[in-house]
Amino acid sequence: MKAYLSETIDIALVSLGFPKKLITVERPKNPDFGDYSCNIALTIAKEAKQKPIQLAEKIKKVLILNEDWVSQVSVTPPGFINFTATDNLYQSFVYDIISQKINYGKTELGKGISANVEFVSANPTGPLNVGHGRQAVLGDTIANILEWHGYDVKREYYYNDAGRQMRILSESVAARYFMEIGKITEFPEDGYRGEYIRDIAKNIIENHGNDLEKDDSIFLNVAEETIFQDIKNTLSFLDIHHDTFINEKSFYESGAIEKILEDLSSENLIYEKDNATWFKATSVGNEQDRVFIKSSGEPTYRLPDTAYHRNKFERKFDWIIDIFGADHVDTFPDVLAALKALNYDINKVKVCIHQFVTLIKDGEKVKMSTRRGDFVTLKDLTDQLNKDVVRYFFIMRSMNSHLNFDLDLAKDQSEKNPVFYLQYAYARICNTIRYAEKSKAIFNNKFDSSLLCHPSEIDLIKTLSQFSEMMKNVLDTLEPQNISTYLQTLATKYHKFYTDCRIVSSDHQLTNSRLNLILAVKFVLSSGLRILGISSPERM
């Protein structure tokens, strides 16, 4: 409909002597202004040397519209042109959804296009925390959105296994090992103190004895393997599975790290200062130069991350999407700058930054610290809540906003819980269909959508009609919370329709039409929930 209105307005403008324009049609926030709105009169008023409101009236007068689709055109200050669609147009959407079923709204916009989505990428130094959980669900949902639109998606997990954190992990496990076998030892000041460190140490004692030396590689190897398996198990509970795992060490072993330094040096973008190796980021537009290798000889994250992203380009991905926490906001611009300096098209890279998570219990913040070991792990959360609740709560707010995860609300089994509210709408539809079948009501695809004229029916159908458009917008913005917002609106409209309209009645034709309407709602709810990775229970 937006495309049709844009084309129609453009034709009207040409008839008034204007050159072709890029016409934008949006849905107005206020439904009193119709179903669609265009601000073209405002954008070209200066060029036309006319007042926007007068220009809008002129455009309105020369519009040639299909009366089967548009019932009313109005102009509102300061110069918006508003369109109200006919009930007939909206009623036709029910046929579209019934015919396409769970494929309604799918596109092939990404057909033949490959996308690499990197997310979680937590170092194997401890269990995943709730912040990792948010990133995991965001990444997996974004991958689902891309697949919905036909992209060839690879989910990827990258982890640093060659730096200081892994050394501290090894020292922490070794210290705990010697404590467990009764040897006096000093625990690293910045070591990892969680109970999981003790468990790993006990496992090493059980399987490798108590005669190990402090620098034995077993401490790091067992710790990394144990923690990484725990990470995979936790993600698996949330139905999150990665296609590829890549580690930092492989880029050192392959010479990829050294090649980055060589290639940047050949562009005069590497220099030495204060016994450190610097990347001349200011030469490629960034505000300050950055250390790539510290004076201690240890690389910063920027260097291996640049090698890793070059590797993504070398694997010929058309679209590279990184899901990072807010702690990466200072580092990724330098990685992109280095890639640009090496002549890679950084427009292919989309970086999504999410804010942090705070757990709320009994109205109070739950304090967390990874090193002290008193943090709430993602597994702790999944042990208390089912998968659907965890996924939904992580996705229902914009990634640009700090997320307060309300544990009490998440555990609530009433309609106050947004997950329960959505799933109850789906289960209620299934129950009604079962009742109709048991009652031997007429229920087939030969229905009359024009009978769906109650205000609650039209309102519900209007919301259904927005699903396809919403999913295209979500692809453009990669903001999956808009799916949850849409589904909440759809469920609300359905519950109101259920209250206002008797679905199964003695009027067989109306019953059939309304049963097809709720079947359409069922298909759209199912699709939306599936994209979010949430189940659609038929009974509750």
Task: Find residue 351's DSSP bridge partners.
Answer: 322
The C-alpha atoms of residue 3 and residue 423 are separated, in whole angstroms, by 33
The C-alpha atoms of residue 512 and residue 519 are separated, in whole angstroms, by 10
From-to residues of CATH 3.40.50.620 in the chain: 114-156+239-354
Residue burial 473-489, b: 16+ Cβ < 10 Å; e: rest: ebbeebbbbebbebbee
The C-alpha atoms of residue 252 and residue 354 are separated, in whole angstroms, by 29
The C-alpha atoms of residue 373 and residue 67 are separated, in whole angstroms, by 67
Burial class (CB in 10 A: 0-12, 13-18, 19+), 460: buried
Task: Give me the amino acid identity at 309.
Answer: H
pLDDT at residue 369 in the model = 56
Distance from first CA to last CA of the chain, Å, rounded? 37
Contact 10, 64 (CB under 8 A): no
Q: Please provide residue 285's backbone torsions phi and psi, each rounded to the nearest 5 degrees.
A: 105, -5
The C-alpha atoms of residue 370 and residue 131 are separated, in whole angstroms, by 11
CA 166, chain centre distance (Å): 29
- The set of residues, in sequence order, having a beta carbon less than 8 Å from that of 72 and lying 6+ positions away, is 34, 83, 84
Write out the two tokens for 358: 């705070």
Contact 398, 540 (CB under 8 A): no
Write out the two tokens for 159: 């982890």
Cα dihedral across residues 131, 134, 138, 144: positive or negative: positive
- List per-residue pLDDT tens for the chain, 540 residues long: 888 999 999 999 999 999 888 899 998 888 889 999 999 999 999 988 999 999 999 999 999 998 889 999 999 999 999 999 988 888 899 999 999 999 999 999 999 999 999 999 999 999 999 999 999 999 999 999 999 999 999 999 999 888 788 999 999 999 999 999 999 889 998 899 889 999 999 999 999 999 899 889 999 999 999 999 999 999 999 999 999 999 999 999 999 999 999 999 999 999 999 999 999 999 998 999 999 999 999 999 999 999 999 999 999 999 999 999 998 898 999 999 999 999 999 999 999 999 999 999 999 998 765 545 556 889 999 999 999 999 999 999 999 999 999 999 999 999 999 999 999 999 999 999 999 999 999 999 999 999 999 999 999 999 999 999 999 999 999 999 999 999 999 999 999 999 999 999 999 999 999 999 999 999 999 999 999 999 999 998
Name the CATH code of domain 114-156+239-354 (choices 3.20.19.10, 3.30.360.10, 3.40.50.1820, 3.40.50.620).
3.40.50.620
Q: Which CATH architecture is the domain 415-531 placed in?
A: Orthogonal Bundle (1.10)
Contact 37, 27 (CB under 8 A): yes
Contact 206, 252 (CB under 8 A): no
Write out the two tokens for 219: 């401490």
Fold of 2-85: Gyrase A; domain 2 (3.30.1360)
Query: What's the pTM?
Result: 0.91
Angle of helix 508-531 relative to helix 481-500, nearest 10 degrees, comes to: 160
pLDDT at residue 337 in the model = 96
Task: Give me the amino acid identity at 328.
Answer: H
Task: Give residue for tokens 């589904």.
Answer: 487
Pick the closest to residue 536 from 443, 432, 430 (CA basis). 430
pLDDT at residue 87 in the model = 87
What are the start-end ranges of the H helices in 24-83? 40-48, 52-62
pLDDT at residue 184 in the model = 86
Cα dihedral across residues 229, 230, 231, 232: positive or negative: positive
CA 28, chain centre distance (Å): 25
pLDDT at residue 19 in the model = 87
pLDDT at residue 375 in the model = 65
3-class state of residue 85 by DSSP:
strand
Q: What is the DSSP letter of 413?
A: -
Write out the two tokens for 275: 């016994």
From-to residues of CATH 1.10.730.10 in the chain: 415-531
Write out the two tokens for 199: 């468990």
- The set of residues, in sequence order, having a beta carbon less than 8 Å from that of 419 and lying 6+ positions away, is 388, 389, 392, 393, 534
Write out the two tokens for 232: 């995979």
Write out the two tokens for 63: 């519009």
From-to residues of CATH 3.30.1360.70 in the chain: 2-85
